[in-house]
Amino acid sequence: MLGQSLLKIRPAISVLRSYSSAAKQMTVREALNSALDEEMSADPKVFLMGEEVGEYQGAYKISKGLLEKYGPERVLDTPITEAGFAGIGVGAAYYGLKPVVEFMTFNFSMQAIDHIINSAAKSNYMSAGQMSVPIVFRGPNGAAAGVGAQHSQCYASWYASCPGLKVLSPYSSEDARGLLKAAIRDPDPVVFLENELLYGESFPVSDEVLDSSFCLPIGKAKIERKGKDVTITAFSKMVGYALKAAEILEKEGIDAEVINLRSIRPLDRSTINASVRKTNRLITVEEGFPQHGVGAEICASVVEESFAYLDAPVERIAGADVPMPYAANLERMAVPQVEDIVRAAKRACYRVVPLAAAA
C-alpha cells in the first residue's frame, strides 16, 4: 500500500531529483535520531534537554549516540524537573538558542504545561513580536501498551486549541524526519507528538527523504491513499489503522481516501474540505478522548465550509470516554481498532442502523 503511494509521490517543488525504486527501510526511531543528529550538526545553537537523553541514550533510545557525538553541553541530562527545564528552554529560546526539550511522555508535560502555554506559546504575541520562541517540545504521546491511565493520554487536542503553538504528529519515518527537521528550524514553539508504538516500525524512505536538507511543510496534510467514496482523516498511529481499514473496505467495494493530518495546528482545512467535497462522507479517527477532540474540530470545519457536500453525518471515532484501563481486553476496547473504522465507513456509506457511540 505504502509502496504504491510512494510511486505516486511527486518530487518537492524546490528539489527535483529521481530516486531509486529500491527504497531503503528506516524505522521511526532511526528517522528521529538522524533528524536530531543532522540538525544538531548543522546548527550549533540546537541542543537537546530532557530526562535520560544523554547517558541512558534516551528513554526510548531516540537520542542514541548523541551525547558521545556532541558532548554534555549540548545533550543535557536534566533532573526530574519538567517545569524547571521547560522554562529554562523558553529562556534560552528567547535568546536565539534552539532547544529541543524531550518529555519522557507527554503525560509528564502537564507538569510543564504552564511554560508550554503561558511562556512559550504566548510570548511572541504578548511582546508584540520581540520575543519569538524557537523551541521544540517532543516526546511520545497517546497510549502505549498496558501502561495505565496516567501514562496513556493523548494531548493533541489540548495543545492544538492554543494559539501560538504549532502541533505536529508524524506517522511514518518520512513524516518523522521531515516534520522534526521543520520543527527544529521553525522560529515558533512546536509541540511534536510522537508515538511509542511506532518507534520500532519500519517504513520505506526515498533518497530525497534521506537528504540532510529534507524537511516537510507545516500545516499541510498528506493524502496517503486516494479514494472517492469516503474520507478518513487520522494522525499518528491511527493512520496505519486507517490504511488497513481502507484495504478491507476496498474488498467490499468502498474506495476510501485516507488523509494523514501530519499537522494538528495549523490544521490543513483546505485539504480536508477538498477531499470531503469529492467523497461527500467523512470519518475522523483519533486516539484521544472524544469530547472537544481533534475530530470535533474537523467536523466543525467541514460543516462550516462544505455542508452542502455532505451526504451523511460526520462520524467521529475516538478513544473511549474513560481514563485508560489497565486490563488488556479493556484497553483494547478503549482505543479505536481497525474494525471500528471499517464499521463507521460502512455506516457512512450505506447508512446501516447506527450503533451507539459508546466504546
Find the binder of another protein among 3, 4, 7, 128 (CB under 8 A).
128
292 a catalytic residue? no
Find the binder of another protein among 274, 296, 320, 333 (CB under 8 A).
274
Assess 95 for contact with another protein (CB under 8 A).
yes
**DSSP string of 169-207, one letter each residue:** ---SHHHHHHHHHHHHH-SS-EEEEE-GGGTT-EEEE-H
Assess 68 for contact with another protein (CB under 8 A).
no
In the complex, least distance from residue 98 CB atom to another protein, rounded to whole angstroms? 11
Please state, in angstroms and rounded to a whole number, the distance separating the CA atoms of residues 51 and 107: 14
Residues 161-190 touching another protein, rule: CB under 8 A, are 163-164, 166, 174, 178, 182-183, 185-188
Please state, in angstroms and rounded to a whole number, the distance separating the CA atoms of residues 4 and 322: 38
Residues 217-246 touching another protein, rule: CB under 8 A, are 217-223
In the complex, least distance from residue 294 CB atom to another protein, rounded to whole angstroms? 17
- Beta-carbon contacts of 109 under 8 Å, excluding residues fewer than 6 positions away, are 82, 86, 103, 116, 137, 139, 155
The closest alpha carbon to 186, from 124, 232, 235, 229, belongs to 124
Candidate list 39, 51, 82, 286, residue with the active-site label: 82
Residues 47-66 touching another protein, rule: CB under 8 A, are 47
Find the binder of another protein among 138, 225, 237, 262 (CB under 8 A).
262
Assess 73 for contact with another protein (CB under 8 A).
yes
Count, residues near another protein per rule CB under 8 A: 75
Candidate list 52, 151, 250, 305, residue with the active-site label: 151
Q: Could you tell me which stretch among 57-65, 160-168, 286-294, 320-328 binds another protein (CB under 8 A)?
A: 160-168
In the complex, least distance from residue 53 CB atom to another protein, rounded to whole angstroms? 15
In the complex, least distance from residue 105 CB atom to another protein, rounded to whole angstroms? 19
Please state, in angstroms and rounded to a whole number, the distance separating the CA atoms of residues 241 and 235: 10
* 38, 62, 309 from 44: Cα distances, Å: 11, 19, 50
**143 vs 209, which CB is nearer to another protein?**
209
Q: Collapse the DSSP code of 79 into the 3-class scheme (helix H, G, I; strand E, B; otherwise coil) and give the result.
A: coil
The closest alpha carbon to 64, from 74, 73, 52, belongs to 52
Nine-digit cell string for 139:
516526546
Q: Could you tell me which stretch among 74-82, 149-157, 192-200, 321-329 binds another protein (CB under 8 A)?
A: 74-82
Find the binder of another protein among 3, 22, 79, 356 (CB under 8 A).
79
Q: Could you tell me which stretch among 138-146, 212-220, 231-239, 300-308 binds another protein (CB under 8 A)?
A: 212-220
* DSSP strands (E only) in the chain: 24-27, 46-50, 75-77, 98-102, 136-140, 166-168, 190-194, 202-205, 222-225, 230-234, 256-260, 263-265, 282-285, 315-317
Please state, in angstroms and rounded to a whole number, the distance separating the CA atoms of residues 251 and 60: 38
In the complex, least distance from residue 231 CB atom to another protein, rounded to whole angstroms? 13
151 a catalytic residue? yes
Catalytically active residues, by annotation: 82, 151
